[in-house]
Amino acid sequence: MSSNTKKRSALGKGLSALLENSETDISGTSAVVGSISDISIGKIEANPFNPRTNFEKEALQELSASIAAHGIIQPLTVRKLGRDKYQLISGERRFRAAQLAGLTDVPAYVRVANDQTMLEMALVENIQREDLNPIEVALSYHRLIEECSLTQDQLSQKISKSRSSITNHLRLLKLPADIQAGVRAGKITMGHARALVSAGDEQTQVELYHRCVKEKLSVRDIESILRGEEVKAPVEPSSSSSTKKETIGITDIEYSLKEHLSDRLSTKIDIKKTPNGTGKIILNFNSDVDLSRILELLSK
């Protein structure tokens, strides 16, 4: 296997599939395109296309301590802007943590990319992350569709997500700002938000959202309310209400797990549960090829 092939495989499918030709270089610069180089951190600027806006301070401090002790294990990816000037394509969290750790140089893959390609790189790279909230993912989908002129079907193929998953995320952007902020902050799950999309006008959505947060309603509670079935808030501290609260929690966990697996594997997921609390998760597939695709995703 050639050195260039090894470099590309190390980047992962999501980003490497979009990289520019690694054989080219920009005249007069010190770092070679396609290689890993140690670059002065002061010569790297943040990526203006990065859809990720929230960086948890405590997690950033922990990463900074790790980098100070062990260095950066996974190199950043940057593009050249000119003589000894670079811009992040991916790795902003590592970049910020390295700054906190007081590093003067960081290892980075060096690439050439125009703004359009860089936008796709940054968005696709970030969509593959597990720690983005549903609103950040939805905004990334929206930008890829609008700014990169992709259809939902093309986006589905590019990021290996189902068309229905993309549609469900995009629908979240129709919600009022208060509810979107609640999703970002983790006050409600994506399942709650999806149910609220169908709640009617904006005022009704916001009122039901605040009730959901205050009364700790489950997704099923919201769906029942929308069907006209009133739901009583749990009363503390009776044993019966405690049991109900536990059941509601399990229901939400099941729902979130089903949504996560369906989104991650781009297939229909069923959860079958028995009265004694045991159960099984069923992965649906359409063909041997589809099954192989799912097995490959599970092995990652």
Q: What are the catalytic residues?
A: 92
Q: Give the separation between CA 214 and CA 233, rounded to whole angstroms.
A: 9
Contact 167, 173 (CB under 8 A): no
Gap between the Cα atoms of 161 and 263, Å rounded: 6
Helix (H, G, I), strand (E, B) or coil at 242: helix
| Cβ–Cβ < 8 Å for 122, 51 | yes
Burial of 97 (0-12, 13-18, 19+ CB in 10 A): buried
Which neighbouring-strand residues pair with 85? 82
Contact 224, 208 (CB under 8 A): no
